[in-house]
Amino acid sequence: MRLSIIIPLYNSEKFLSRCLDSLLLHQDIDPNDYEILIINDGSTDNSLKLATTYAKKYANLLVYTQVNGGVGSARNKGISLSKGEYIYFIDPDDYLASNVLLILLNTAKDNELEILTFKTKTTTDTNLFSSNSAAVDTQKLEVYNGIDYIATHQYRNEVWWYIVKRSFINKTNIKFIEGRWMEDAILTAQLFLKANRMANLALDAHRYILVEGSAMTNKEPSHYLKVIDDNRNAAIIFESLLEDLITRNANPNCVARLRARQQSFVFFMMVRMLKSTIKFKEIKVIINELAKTNAYPISAFIGEDYEGFSYALLTKIFNNKSLFYLTFNVCNPILKST
């Protein structure tokens, strides 16, 4: 089997059909060459019923159910159940353009790649199936090790813009952190740094759908507090990755880009702090913890990947503890003064 597609499913009945149809009806790959593993993560809507209906119709679609453990847990279970030479993760509210799987798999196989990245489009359009596949030149592929890839490419945190060889991910023993957001940002960096052969194909393959109330747009106070802590955790984990690279005298451009990414976690964490119900004393504990690493102050954030006046202005405020604390308390003094 050439490919395992893993879908972590939680209360996505509104979007699942579009995702599955894009994988089952609009691809140029033999159904016997790929499997779709839906990991139902304790859904309470009709997601499981809908997935089961598809499974009865398509032999290469399998549904598994677990007690709700979060997206990291669901993806880890999918990895353990997968049989394909390559693995691809997609979220149920997203979908793929038509006829992109075969070119991705052939390119990865022909070039003996451990990871192949590709392009994504952020959209609200639910019928954007056409892609640039006819214009893609697979003969001009440049193969990198993961460190040099990061050094020379802007990259995304998410896992739905690349396929990864199953034997490679199993050999590294890298798993998604369970019970936290930012789990894909951590795994992506960890996998890339271990890769010996990876490349980018300028194929317009994935559609990232903007969904109100998703993990990225959810503004519930409890969710904000969790995201703040998970950004803090990601910054701490990245510190160990960076220390290892520095010890090994790795490509300095890779170190610089990962440092900027680490500090982006801190930057966006602090933005959320201003909008959250977190207490002032908790803010001070977090900032002091991060100050013991190179994640704070935010000295390497502004640059090639993050630029602009608003970023620069906020960074100046965030790097001045007294000014940030003042700004923080002004935003909501009643909730945050204790």
**Claim to verify: residue 64 and residue 165 sit in the same structural domain:** yes
pLDDT at res. 116: 98
Q: Does 44 reside within a domain?
A: yes
Give me the domain span that covers residue 185.
3-209
pTM listed for this prediction: 0.93
Most confident of 113-117, 218-222, 307-311: 113-117
Q: Is residue 156 part of a domain?
A: yes
Q: Do 55 and 98 belong together in one domain?
A: yes
Is residue 290 in some structural domain?
A: yes
First to last CA, the chain: 57
Task: Give the integer Cα–Cα distance in Å for 4 and 24.
Answer: 13
Judge whether 216 lies within some domain. no
DSSP H or E segment with residue 204:
strand 198-209
Same domain for 108 and 200, yes or no, is yes
Sheet containing strand 115-123, edge to edge, reads 61-66, 34-41, 3-9, 86-89, 162-165, 115-123, 198-209, 95-96
Domain membership of residue 235 (yes or no) is yes
Residue 233 to residues 181, 186, 228, Cα–Cα distance (Å): 10, 10, 9
Q: Is residue 214 part of a domain?
A: no
Domain boundary among 209, 234, 268: 209
Does residue 14 form part of some domain? yes
The CATH number of the domain holding residue 182 is: 3.90.550.10
**Predicted confidence band at 336 (pLDDT cuts at 50, 70, 90)?**
very low
Residue with tokens 């159910």: 65
Give the residue from 209, 233, 259 where a domain finishes: 209
Strands 115-123 and 61-66: unpaired
Same domain, 124 and 186: yes
Inform me whether the pLDDT recorded for 24 exceeds 50: yes
Q: Are residues 39 and 146 in the same domain?
A: yes
pLDDT at residue 69 is higher than 90:
yes
- Rounded CA gap, 5 and 21, in Å? 13
pLDDT tens string 235-292: 999 999 999 999 999 999 999 999 999 999 999 999 999 988 899 999 999 999 999 9
The predicted structure's pLDDT at residue 337: 44
Residues 135 and 249 in one domain: no
38 and 182 part of one domain: yes
Task: Say what the pLDDT of residue 304 is.
Answer: 85
Same domain, 27 and 127: yes
Same domain, 160 and 291: no
Domain count, the chain: 2
Return the pLDDT at 106: 97
The DSSP symbol for 88 reads E
The verdict on residue 97 lying in a domain is yes
**Longest CA–CA separation in the chain, Å:** 61
Domain end, chosen from 209, 236, 260, is at 209
Q: Which of 82, 80, 65 is nearest to 8 (CA)?
A: 65
Residues 25 and 163 in one domain: yes
Average pLDDT of 93-100? 96
Residues 23 and 169 in one domain: yes
β-strands 34-41, 86-89 pairing: unpaired
* One domain for residues 36 and 175: yes
Mean pLDDT of the chain: 93
Residue 150 has pLDDT above 80, yes or no: yes
